[in-house]
Amino acid sequence: MSTGVARAPIVAQGRPLPGRRVLVWSGFALVFAIAPLIFRSDFSVSILSQVAIAIVACLSYNMLLGQGGMLSFGHAVYSGLGTFVAVHAMLAIANGTLPVPTSLIPFVGGLAGMFFAIILGYVTTKKAGTPFAMITLGLGELVTAMALMIPEFFGGEGGVSANRSAGKSFLGITYGPQIQVYYLLALYAFVSTAAMFAFTRTPLGRMLNAVRDNPERVEFIGYSTQRVRFFSFVIAGFFAGIAGGMAALNFEIATAEVVGAGRSGLYLFFTFLGGATFFFGPIIGAVLMVLGFALFSEVTKAWQLYLGLIFLFMVMYAPGGIASLIMMNVRVAKYKKLHRLWGWYAGLVAASLVMLVGAAALIEMVYHLQLGGAGEPTLGYLGVTLDTTSAVTWIGAAVVFAIGFVALEATRRRFALAWGAIQMEIESDMTFKEPSPVDVPADLPEHGAAASAEAGKP
Amino acid sequence: MEFFTISMLNGLSYGLLLFMLSSGLTLIFSMMGVLNFAHASFYMLGAYIAYSISRFTGFWPGLVIAPVVVGLLGALFERSCLRRVHKFGHVPELLITFGLAFVIGELVLLIWGRTAVEFPPPEVLRGPAFTIVNSSQTGLAIVAGKADAAMCSAADAAVRVVCSPFPATRGFMMLVALAMLVALWLLLTRTRIGLVIQSALTHPEMVESLGHNVPRVFMLVFGAGSALAGLAGVIGGSTFVTEPAMAATVGSVIFVVVVVGGMGSLAGAFVASLLIGIIQTFAVAFDYSLVGAVKSLGIPISAGAADNSLLKLTVSQIAPILPYLFLVLILIFRPKGLLGTREG
C-alpha cells in the first residue's frame, strides 16, 4: 500500500457514496430498534441494554487506542466516576433537589467523565507511548484506592444505589420497565456512536491520527501533540462518562469495582479483540464482551483463561482484531478470489478445533481437580466422561492437543503462503487497473487498509 | 531511635526487593523498548513454583530452581511470542505482555487455587536476625538473634526496656538483593557479554554487524530479567504472602518505580526503589491524620469536620496510594524522572 498509485483511491474516497453511508447507519439504527422485538425475554432485554452501554464504552476507549495510539489502562476511571456522579444525580432527582429529567442522567455522567478527564488527563497526556500507559495504570490504582477511602461519596464496599423511576414520569415513561430503559440507552448509544464517528472526520480527529502515526512530523508543522492528545482524551472521557451514566440508569448501583483496573482491562481486551484499527471494530468487541459474560461464563468456569489465550493468539496473528479479519476477506471477495481460500479456512478451523478440544480437556480437568471436583474424580466433557485419576485421559488429551497444534501450525504456514500470493495478485490488479471506488469500504478511516495489509502477513 | 532504625531497615529491605524487580524491568525496557507488563507475574510465578518445589525438597533447592524455571519460561515467551509481534510496533508488544500477565494470573488461579498458600521461610530465617535493646538505664545495645526474655524485661519498674527485633527474612532479602546488585553490575561492566548488552542498548545495528546475534542477546536479557523477578518472588513470597493478588500488589508499584526513576535508567530505578520502599514503610507506621494535626496545633474543630472521612484519614491509611501520588508529582515537576535522561 505504500505506492502513490495504490494510495490514490483511498484519499479519493474521503466522501464516499452518500447512499451507502445512509444505508449503513439506518441499518444500525434498525438493529437497535427491532432487537428487543425479536429477543423479547427480560433476560435478553437486559443483555441488549448492556450491549448498548458496552458499545459506547468500547468506542470511547478506541478513540484513545485505535485513533490516538494511546494505550490506556485506566479508562474505567472515567466511565466509573461517571457512574458514581450519575447515581448521585439520580438520588438528587429523587430528593427533588436536582431539576433534571431522568432521561438526561447519561449526559450528567458524560459531563462528570469529561470533568475528571480534564483534571487527570492534564497529567496523563503529558506523555505518549509506554509512559502514557504506565501513568494511566498508576492513576487508575490511585482512584480505585481513593474509592475505598472516601465512603461519603463512593459508599465504601456496598456502593451507592439509587432508584431510576423516582423522577417525574413524562408521557407515561417512568423508566420502571426495562424496555423503556433499553430504548433510552439505545438512543444514547446510537447518537454517541454517530457523534464519535463524526469526531473521526473532524480536523481534530484527523490530527489525532497524525499524532498516532508520526508525532514528530506533527510537531514540525506546528501542532502541539500534547494538546491534541489532551483534547481527544477529554472527549473520550466524555463518552466514557456517558457510558457510565447509562450503566447507572441500567443497574441503579455504583460500586468501587466500576472504576477498577479489572474493568479497564476488559475495555482494552474487547476493544482490541473487536478490532482497534476500524471504527466499527469495538462494536463487535462490545457485543462479545456482554455475551461472554452472560453466556460463556455459564458454560465453563475457566472462561477468562480461554479469553486470555484467545487474546494472546489475536495479538500474535491478527493484531487488527476481528474487524480486520472481516475486512481483509471482504477485500479478497471483491476481487473474486475468496473461493480459493475456503479450503484453507476449513483446514484451519478443523485443526484449531482439534487443538481446542485437547487444550480445553486439559484445562477443565485441572480446574476440576482444583475445585475439589465435588468428590467426583470424573467430569462430563462434550458428552464423554473424563476420569481425572487415570493417566490415559491426561495423555490422551495432551496427544489430541499436540496433534491439533502441529496440524494448525502446518496449515497456517501453507495458508500464509497462499494468502500472500492472493494479496500480491490484488496489489498488482490495483496498480495496473483503474481501481473501483469501493476498493476500500467506505466507513473506515484510511489507516485500516494499511494496517490490515500488514496484519495479513502472519 | 530503635523505631527509626528498624523502620529504616525494613524500608531498605522492601526497597531492595522492589529493585530486584525493577532492575529487570528497566533492563528489558531500555534494551527492547518493551515495558513488560508480565514482569510482576513472573514474580508471582517464582513464588508459586518455589512453593511447589519446597513441598518436596525444602526451601533452598526451590530458591535456586524456581528462578531458573521462570527464566526459561521468560526466554521461551520472548522467543515464541514477543519476537513475533515486534514488527507490529509498540502497542501490540505492550498488549502481548498484558495478555500474558492475564493468562499467568488465570493459570495461577487454576493450578494453585484462589486462596493464599502456606509458603513459610526456612527454619533458619524464622527468628529475628538481631534485636535492638533500648534500656533507659544502659542505653542502646544490639543483640544477635533473639534477645532473651530477661534482657527485655526490667526487674525495676522505673527502668523502661524496649526490644525491637529485626526479622531474619528481611536481612536475607537485603543480602540477596545486594549480592544480586553487585553481580549485575560486575556482569554489565566487567564481562564480554555485559559489554555486548550495553552496546546493544544504544547501537543494536552496529552490534549486529559486528557479528553478534542481537535477538539472542534480547532473549537472554528477557530470560535473565524474568529469572531475577522469579528470585525476588521466592524471597518476597516467603517473607510476605504467596497469593494470587501478589502480582497486582507489587506490579503497579514497580511501574511507578520505573517512571519515577526515569525510564530506562538503572541507577534511577535503584534510587526510586529505595525511596518508595522507605516512604511506604514509614507511612504505614504513622497514625497521624489532618484532624489530629489541626487539633495538636490547638485549633478547635467542629464535630462534623472531625468526622469527615477525608480529614480523618491517617498517614498509614493512605500509605498504599503514596507511590501513585509521588508518580503524579514527579510527572508534573520533573517529567523525565529522577535520574532519567530522555523525555518520552
* Confidence band, pLDDT 50/70/90 cuts, at residue A252: confident
pLDDT in tens, A49-82: 999 999 999 999 999 998 998 889 889 999 999 9
pLDDT at A162: 84
**What's the rounded mean pLDDT across residues A400-404?**
89
Contact A126 B29 (CB under 8 A): no
How far is B118 from chain A, CA to nearest CA, in Å?
16
pLDDT of residue A110: 95
Q: Alpha carbon A79 to chain centroid distance?
A: 14
pLDDT of A168 reads 67
> Which of A299, A322, A347 corresponds to the end of one domain?
A299
The letter for the amino acid at B180 is: M
Q: Name which of A337, A252, A255, A260 is nearest A75 in CA terms.
A: A260
Task: Please indicate whether residue A9 or residue A175 has the higher confidence score (pLDDT).
Answer: A175
Among the partner residues B91, B103, B331, nearest to A312 by beta-carbon distance: B103
**DSSP bridge partners of B130:** B144, B166
> Does A310 contact chain B (CB < 8 Å)?
no
Q: Taking CA atoms, what residue in A is nearest to B314? A: A149
pLDDT above 90 (res A34): no
Which of B98, B257, B322, B334 has the most A C-beta neighbours within 10 Å, making it the best mutation to test the interface with A? B98
Q: A366, B321: Cβ pair inside 8 Å?
A: no
Q: How much is the pLDDT for A457?
A: 40
Alpha carbon distance A288, B172 (integer Å): 48
Burial A184-199 (b: 16+ CB within 10 A, else e): bbbbbbbebbeebbeb
CA-CA distance, B273 to B262, in Å (whole number)?
Answer: 12
Q: Which residue has the higher pLDDT, A5 or B175?
A: B175
Are B234 and B63 contacting, i.e. CB atoms less than 8 angstroms apart?
yes
Q: What is the per-residue pLDDT for B147?
A: 65
Rounded Cα distance between A139 and A85, Å, is 19
Stretch 339-358 of chain A: residues touching chain B, C-beta under 8 Å? none
Asked if the Cβ–Cβ distance from A302 to B110 is below 8 Å, we say yes
Q: Rounded distance, CA B207 to CA A215, Å? A: 28
Would residue A47 count as lying in a domain?
Answer: yes
Looking at the fold, whether A272 and A368 belong to one and the same domain comes out as no
In this predicted structure, what is the pLDDT of residue A238? 96
Residue B218 grid coordinates: 534480547
Put simply, the chain B residues between 11 and 30 with a CB less than 8 A from any chain A CB are 29
Q: Which residues contact B24 (CB under 8 A, 6 or more apart)?
A: B39, B224, B225, B226, B228, B229
Which residues in chain A are contacts of B259 at CB distance < 8 A? 131, 134-135, 138
Query: What are the backbone angles phi and psi of residue B154, rounded to the nearest 5°?
Result: -90, 145
- The fraction of chain A above a pLDDT of 90, given in percent, is 25
Residue-level pLDDT at B153 = 67
A357 and A287 in a common domain: no
Say whether A370 and B256 touch across the interface (CB within 8 A): no
* Range A201-208 average pLDDT: 93
Query: B208, B229 in Cβ contact below 8 A?
Result: no
Number of domains comprising chain A: 2
SS3 (DSSP) at B314: strand
Spatial contact of B260 and B275, defined as CB atoms under 8 Å apart: yes
Backbone φ and ψ of A170, nearest 5°: -130, 120
Give residue A51's pLDDT: 93
pLDDT category at A455 given cuts 50, 70, 90 is: very low
Q: What CATH code is carried by the domain that includes residue A254?
A: 1.10.3470
Q: Does A216 touch chain B (CB under 8 A)?
A: no
Looking at residue A242, its pLDDT comes to 95
Antiparallel, parallel or unpaired: β B139-144 and B128-135: antiparallel
- Structure-model confidence comparison of residues B24 and A175, the more confident one: B24
- Out of A126, A134, A307, name the one closest to residue B35 (CB): A134
What is the least distance, in Å, from the CA of A165 to any CA of chain B?
A: 31
HEC secondary structure over B97-139: HHHHHHHHHHHHHHHHCCCCECCCCCHHHCCEEEEEEEECCCE
What are the strands, taking DSSP E only, across A255-393?
378-381, 384-387
- B43 vs A457, higher pLDDT: B43
Q: With H, G, I as helix, E, B as strand and everything else as coil, classify residue A380.
A: strand
Please, which residues 206-245 of chain B have a Cβ atom closer than 8 Å to chain A?
none
Q: Which of 227-286 (A) contact B at CB < 8 A?
A: 261, 265, 268-269, 272
Whether the CB-CB separation of A77 and A213 falls below 8 Å is answered with no
Does A21 fall in a domain?
no
* Contacts B113 to A, Cβ<8 Å: 370
Mean pLDDT of B210-236: 90
**Domain ends where: A299, A319, A341?**
A299
Question: What's the pLDDT at A189?
Answer: 94
Residues in chain A with CB shorter than 8 Å from the CB of B85 are: 315-316, 319
- Give the closest residue to A342 by CA, choosing from A350, A315, A409, A454: A350
Distance in angstroms (rounded) separating the CA atoms of residues B226 and B73: 8
CB contact under 8 A, B321 and A131: no
Nearest alpha-carbon partner for B326 in A126, A132, A121, A142 = A142
Same domain assignment for residues A290 and A340: no
A272 contact residues in B (CB cutoff 8 A): 95
B333 touches chain A (CB under 8 A): no
A133, A315, A363 ranked by CB distance to B85: nearest: A315
Average pLDDT taken over every residue of chain B: 83
Range of the domain at A51: 39-299
Per the CB < 8 A criterion, the answer to whether A144 and A71 are in contact is: no
Give the domain ranges of chain B. 2-121+172-244, 123-168
Cβ partners under 8 Å of residue B40, min gap 6: B21, B101, B229, B247, B248, B250, B251, B254
Lowest mean pLDDT among A77-91, A341-355, B308-322: B308-322
- Pick the more confident residue, A69 or B72: B72
Distance CA A182, CA A119 (A): 32
Handedness of CA A357, A360, A366, A369 (dihedral sign): negative
Q: What span, in angstroms and rounded, lies between the C-alpha atoms of A90 and A107?
A: 12
Residue A205 belongs to some domain of the structure: yes
Q: With CB atoms and an 8 Å threshold, state whether B91 touches A69.
A: yes
In chain B, what percentage of residues exceed pLDDT 90? 19
pLDDT given at position A116: 94
In whole numbers, what is the pLDDT of chain A averaged over residues?
82
More confident residue, B217 or B149: B217
Confidence (pLDDT) at A452: 41
**Contact state of B102 with A131 under an 8 Å Cβ cutoff:** no
| Mean pLDDT, residues A25-51 | 87
Q: Which candidate from A130, A142, A305 shows the least CB-CB separation from B324?
A: A142
* β A378-381/A384-387 pair status: antiparallel
Alpha-carbon torsion A70, A71, A77, A80, what sign?
A: positive
Q: Which of A134, A136, A364 to mutate to test the interface with B (most CBs of B within 10 A)?
A: A134
Rounded to a whole number of angstroms, the distance from the CA of B1 to the nearest CA of chain A is 31
Round to whole Å and give the CA distance between A17 and A278: 19
pLDDT per position as a tens digit, B257-280:
988 888 878 888 999 999 999 988
Restricting to B residues 115-154, those with a Cβ less than 8 Å away from any Cβ of A are none
* Domain shared by A287 and A346, yes or no: no
Q: B2, B162 in Cβ contact below 8 A? A: yes
Q: Is the pLDDT of residue A345 over 60?
A: yes
Looking at A299, A321, A348, the residue that finishes a domain is A299
Which chain B residue lies closest to A144 (C-alpha atoms)?
Answer: B321
Shortest CA gap A128–chain B (Å): 7
Share of chain B above pLDDT 70, in %: 86
Alpha-carbon distance B167 to B131, whole Å? 9
More confident residue, B155 or A402: A402
Which residues of chain A does B84 touch, with a Cβ-Cβ cutoff of 8 Å?
316
For position B150, what pLDDT does the model report? 66
Q: Which residues on B lie below 8 Å from A316 (Cβ)?
A: 81, 84-85, 96
A8, three cell numbers: 490514490
Higher pLDDT, A147 or A83: A83
Do B94 and A133 lie within an 8 Å CB cutoff?
yes
| pLDDT tier for residue A454 given thresholds of 50, 70 and 90 | very low
Cα distances (Å, whole numbers) of residue B277 to A127, A374, B249, B283: 25, 44, 13, 10
pLDDT of B118 reads: 84
**Beta strand ranges found along chain B (DSSP E):** 128-135, 139-144, 161-167
pTM of the model: 0.83
| Cα of B251 to nearest chain A Cα, Å | 10
